Amino acid sequence: MTGLALPSLRRPNAPLPLVAGGAAAAWLVGWFAEAPAADWLAFTVLRLEPGTHLGDAVAFFLEDLPKVLLLLLGIVTVVTLIRGFFPPERIRPILAGRGLLPGTFAAAGLGIVTPFCSCSAVPLFIGFVEAGVPLGVTFAFLISSPMVNEVALVLLWGLFGPGIALAYMAAGLTVAILGGLLIGRLRLERYVEDYVWQLQTGKMRPISVRLTWADRLGDAWDYTRTLVHKIFPYLLAGIGLGALIHGYVPTDLVASIGGRSNLLAVPIVVLLAVPMYSNAAGTIPIVQALLGKGLPLGTTLAFMMAVTAISLPEFVILRRVIKPPLLAIFAGVVTTGILAIGFLFNSLIG
Amino acid sequence: MRSIEVLGSGCPNCQRLEANAREAVAMAGVEADVRHVTDPREIVRRGVMSTPGLVIDGEVVSTGRIPSAGDIAVWLSK
């Protein structure tokens, strides 16, 4: 199994509202039918016993795979569609004209809705700084954008409910705001590579081609199907591992190793998360199974945030525009923030 | 001779855009020089912050998305 190939929706034969409506209806039917269908498959067709290790593991897998796939397909498409209206070129003038405090808050918030890929981190950084966006505000954006990952946010909401999803978002925003304010106060402009200041940015011209709704929907669906195709093997592995944990790992084991009494648990999961960069979706089923077995919320959130925000490739790319001391401060702020969130939630919530 | 610039760091999305652009050149049947601009300074100088970007004859026609070969061919034949 190498991936999940989904068809393109460019230039569909049917009218656009019909395609979109049909997709939405099929999605809803799938959403409500998948849990009973999974139970029926596991316990009636495969004749597994509910309550046994094997039965629970198989039912978990059959129920979770379509659920996570539906969430990804539906919500990433919608989120990508919305984000298409907030390109960095459009939010830059909003951030350039503000003071440090309102600018930092705005940047942290906009970081959530603006599409960001570490491969455009450098032009984005230069573009912001050149336009007069303060350094702290730029970093608030650079922290919030990957830290509040929309895939993670949406899956957390769908699988655990709004409480945990909102806690994840609030925590990421707080780290981005505090980090941005700190970097702004420290006056670290000298650690930006000199050539960045000497550049003359091109005038922002409106892009000559206007996007239609068909373009936007086609873009969003293309993004989603490429993403799902890419992460599908990880998703299978993640849900498979999650199913094994759900069926076989005793609750006491997880609670005693990863419980709140073990202060090393948060740093350890953060360390484990570093090589998992960009696989937020594949890690969620594991996280779900571990939460169910007693892994505390703070440890879980720290893990989710570290997966998306501590990205070695991004640090390497940013080295082209900022000098090592600032890079170290940036990495330090992100890591410290994630650790603090882990410990804070663990001590506040039982 | 038309000029086409693909702006991007060489990431997978930028490669796909370049492939679409080359396909579009063949579809439109025009003479075009397709260049891949990877220097972030050059990208920003063209007023683009979200990659991949596409510039046709010095005019930015798309940023942060991958237009299809068909769309690019339409722009080329204008």
SS (H, E, C) chain A: CCCCCCCCCCCCCCCHHHHHHHHHHHHHHHHHHHHHHHHHHHHHHCCCCCCCHHHHHHHHHHHHHHHHHHHHHHHHHHHHHHHCCCCHHHHHHHHHCCCHHHHHHHHHHHHHHCCCCHHHHHHHHHHHHHCCCCHHHHHHHHHHHHHCCHHHHHHHHHHHCHHHHHHHHHHHHHHHHHHHHHHHHCCCHHHECHHHHHCCCCCCCCCCCCCCHHHHHHHHHHHHHHHHHHHHHHHHHHHHHHHHHHHHCCHHHHHHHHCCCCCCHHHHHHHHHHHHCCCHHHHHHHHHHHHHCCCCHHHHHHHHHHHHHCCHHHHHHHCCCECHHHHHHHHHHHHHHHHHHHHHHHHHCC
Give the closest of B40, B65, B68 to A126, CB-based: B40
User: Min CA distance, A154 vs chain B (Å)?
Assistant: 22
**Bridge partners of B37?**
B7
Q: Of A19, A56, A44, give the one whose Cα is nearest residue A220.
A: A19
CB contact under 8 A, A89 and B11: no
Question: Measured between alpha carbons, how far is A278 from B32 in angstroms, rounded to an integer?
Answer: 36
Burial category of A306 from C-beta neighbours within 10 Å (exposed 0-12, middle 13-18, buried 19 and up): buried
Question: Measured between alpha carbons, how far is B55 from B39 in angstroms, rounded to an integer?
Answer: 15
Q: Cβ(A115)–Cβ(A76) under 8 Å? A: no
Give the closest of B8, B47, B70 to A202, CB-based: B47
pTM: 0.82
Give the closest of B14, B50, B75 to A88, CB-based: B50
CB contact under 8 A, B44 and A126: yes
| B13: nearest CA partner in chain A | A119
CB contact under 8 A, B13 and A119: yes
Q: Please report which confidence band the pLDDT of residue B9 belongs to, taking 50, 70 and 90 as the band edges.
A: confident
Q: What is the pLDDT of residue B26?
A: 92
Question: Measured between alpha carbons, how far is A266 from A299 in angstroms, rounded to an integer?
Answer: 5
Mean pLDDT of the region B52-63: 90
Q: Cβ(A148)–Cβ(A113) under 8 Å? A: no
The number of residues making up chain B comes to: 78
Q: What is the pLDDT of residue A206?
A: 56
Whether the predicted interface score ipTM is above 0.85: no
Tokens of A107: 């940047």
**Bridge partners of B35?**
B5
| List B2, B3, B11, B64, catalytic entry | B11
CB contact under 8 A, B61 and A207: yes
Residue B49 has pLDDT above 80, yes or no: yes
- Structural domain boundaries in chain B: 2-76
Q: 10 Å Cβ neighbour count for B60?
A: 22
Per CATH, the homologous superfamily of domain B2-76 is Glutaredoxin (3.40.30.10)
Question: Measured between alpha carbons, how far is B27 from B72 in angstroms, rounded to an integer?
Answer: 9
Mean pLDDT of the region B6-31: 89
Contacts of A89 in chain B (CB under 8 A): 47-50, 63
Own/partner pairs, B26-30, CB within 8 angstroms, 24+ separation = B27/B69, B27/B70, B27/B73, B28/B73, B28/B76, B28/B77, B30/B2, B30/B76, B30/B77
Q: Of A288, A289, A285, give the one whose Cα is nearest residue A249.
A: A289
Going across the sheet that includes B32-37, the strands are: B32-37, B2-7, B53-56, B59-63
Q: What is the pLDDT of residue A182?
A: 94
- The yes-or-no answer on residue B43 being catalytic is no
Q: What is the pLDDT of residue A1?
A: 42
User: Min CA distance, B50 vs chain A (Å)?
Assistant: 6
Q: Cβ(A150)–Cβ(A227) under 8 Å? A: no
CB contact under 8 A, B64 and A120: yes
User: Min CA distance, B27 vs chain A (Å)?
Assistant: 17
Question: Measured between alpha carbons, how far is A241 from A225 in angstroms, rounded to an integer?
Answer: 24
* Cβ-based interface (< 8 Å): residues of B facing A: 7-9, 11, 13-14, 40-41, 43-51, 59-68, 70-71, 75
CB contact under 8 A, B62 and A209: yes
Which stretches of chain A drop beneath a pLDDT of 70?
1-3, 9-13, 115-116, 200-209, 253-255, 258-261, 277-279, 350
Give the closest of B45, B64, B71 to A202, CB-based: B45
Secondary structure of residue B26 in the 3-state scheme: helix
Tokens of A104: 């930092």
CB contact under 8 A, A88 and B61: no
- The yes-or-no answer on residue B7 being catalytic is no
Residue B30 has pLDDT above 60, yes or no: yes
Q: What is the pLDDT of residue A3?
A: 60
A vs B: CB pairs below 8 A: 89
CB contact under 8 A, B49 and A88: yes
Q: What is the pLDDT of residue A279?
A: 66
| A114: nearest CA partner in chain B | B50
**Bridge partners of B53?**
B7, B63
Q: What is the pLDDT of residue A99?
A: 80
Compare B24 and A211 and report the one with higher pLDDT.
Answer: B24
Contacts of B7 in chain A (CB under 8 A): 123
Residue B47 has pLDDT above 70, yes or no: yes
